[in-house]
Amino acid sequence: MSLENTLEETALTFADLGLNPDVLQAVQDAGYVHPTPIQAQAIPLALEGRDLIGLAQTGTGKTAAFALPILNQLTGGPHRARALILTPTRELCVQVEENFRKYAERSGLKTLAVYGGVALEPQTKALRKGIDIVIATPGRLLDHIERQNVVFDDLEILVLDEADRMLDMGFAPQINRVVAEIPKYRQTMLFSATMPPEVEALSRKYLRKPHVIQVGRRSMAATGVTHAVYPVPRIRKTQLLTELLKNKEMDSVLIFTRTKHGADRVVRDLRQAGIQATAMHGDKTQKERTRALDDFKDGTMRVLVATDVAQRGLDVTGITHVINFDVPQEPEDYVHRIGRTGRAESSGDAYTLMSPDEIAMVRTIERVIGQEIPRISVPGYDFGTTAA
């Protein structure tokens, strides 16, 4: 099921979901015509004040699924922190805040992204002035809570976004400490691409009789994406990558490696081959990451090399190709990575370079996504089609 298809399938309008005129206007300004399935299901329940679990990955329109009902509920009132969205990464934090800001333009509500790796002071000032909706990574938010820069006594709605990834990244203790600071009587929404036991335990702890919504199960995240696997010996991956990048139709290419070190090495090798590229991963400073992303977004840099953690929450429209330099270790990561291309209503190609030791992992991914990925044999590179 692709987002494009599901958008076509959803005959509803946003007005059918019970949103107020200001929010409907914001949706119209954003150019959305029909709600996506996660929006169609989540918005009416969220407006009723229900707790909910949304099993949906990035690319399904999940951000608006919680942002719109929150804005609907918070119109008017004092600028006290009344909604909190916790996100795993700085990039997702910034992206979610951008979404809120876009939809909140007419509402007078104030939003702020709170994340680490940058100076505390500007965030402190903004928080002390009064913010309605705080979007934060857990660690930095705790710094502000400890300094009493923000108080959550008036909090009405809590969202745990990409809960599986937050737990993967070891944020459970920080989440617990944050939740201890906010009122028990609140609405809580949890969004997650997957539902491992840890996420289930988290939802049992913090949600009341949640309604579970699931979209796009066992299906690809994105629209119109053409998948292909290139069998190639590990030591020849860079050469094949260089060959593939000669294709001028590859306007904007996001390459994934398993490790930070691997990302740096790919950038170095590509530069040696005369291809400009930049890396984005957790060892880079916030300034470097923002710069890399900006250059990639405005087209100055055609090739961005990233690790999985760094790519979560990237909202870069117009990515024409995703290349998995390494086969992802988790099938969910494959879906997330591919979700970078072909986001809402565009299309793209997703290539995976597969060395012999990665054949089993590709097969697992195929089982999970419920489709076979075609193999493309490049003469001189393929290690033998029969092996794949």
Task: By CB under 6 A, name the binding residues for ligand AMP.
Answer: 7, 32, 35-36, 39, 58-64, 315, 343-344
Query: Looking at the chain, which runs of residues are DSSP E strands?
Result: 52-55, 83-86, 111-114, 133-136, 157-160, 187-192, 211-214, 226-231, 253-256, 278-280, 303-306, 321-324, 349-354
CA 126 to CA 122: how far, in whole Å? Answer: 6
Which pair of tokens denotes residue 313?
A: 């929450």
Give least dist CB 195 to ligand AMP, A.
Answer: 17
**Percent of residues in the chain assigned helix, strand, coil, to nearest 5:** 45, 15, 40
In whole angstroms, the minimum distance from the beta carbon of 313 to ligand AMP comes to 8
Question: 219 or 355: whose CB is closer to ligand AMP?
Answer: 219
Phi/psi-derived region of residue 218, left when phi > 0, alpha when psi is between -120 and 50, beta in every other case: left
Shortest gap between Cβ of 342 and ligand AMP (angstroms)? 11
**At closest approach, how far in Å is the CB of 304 from ligand AMP?**
17
Q: Would you call 267 exposed, middle or buried from its count of C-beta atoms within 10 A (0-12, 13-18, 19+)?
A: buried
In the bound state with ligand AMP, the residue whose beta carbon lies nearer, of 63 and 174, is 63
Closer to ligand AMP at the Cβ: 308 or 315? 315
* Residue 133 vs 279, nearer CB to ligand AMP: 133
The minimum distance between CB 231 and ligand AMP, in angstroms, equals: 32
CA distance 39 to 225: 22
End-to-end CA distance of the chain: 26
Torsion of CA 157, 52, 164, 284, to 10 degrees: -40
The residue (of 62 and 237) whose beta carbon lies closer to ligand AMP is 62
In the bound state with ligand AMP, the residue whose beta carbon lies nearer, of 262 and 313, is 313
CB 149 within 8 A of CB 181: no
Beta carbon nearer to ligand AMP, 59 or 231: 59
Minimum CB–partner distance for residue 237 and ligand AMP (Å): 30
Amino acid type, 321: H
Q: Least distance in Å: CB of 385 to ligand AMP?
A: 36
Rank residues 7 and 280 by Cβ distance to ligand AMP and give the closer one: 7
Closest CB to ligand AMP among 273 and 344?
344
State how far the Cα of 301 lies from the Cα of 324, in Å rounded to an integer. 18
The CA angle 295-110-112, to the nearest 5 degrees, is: 45
The sheet with strand 211-214 has its strands ordered as: 111-114, 133-136, 83-86, 157-160, 187-192, 52-55, 211-214
What amino acid occupies position 258? R
CA-closest candidate to residue 297, choices 276, 275, 314, 321: 314
- Distance of closest approach, residue 38 Cβ to ligand AMP, in angstroms: 8
Q: How far is the CB of 30 from ligand AMP (least distance, A)?
A: 7
What is the spatial distance between Cα 3 and Cα 168, in angstroms, rounded to a whole number? Answer: 26
**Contact predicate 265/277, CB 8 Å:** no
Q: Shortest gap between Cβ of 343 and ligand AMP (angstroms)?
A: 5
Of 33 and 151, the one with the shorter C-beta distance to ligand AMP is 33
**What count of other Cβ atoms lies within 10 Å of the Cβ of residue 5?**
12
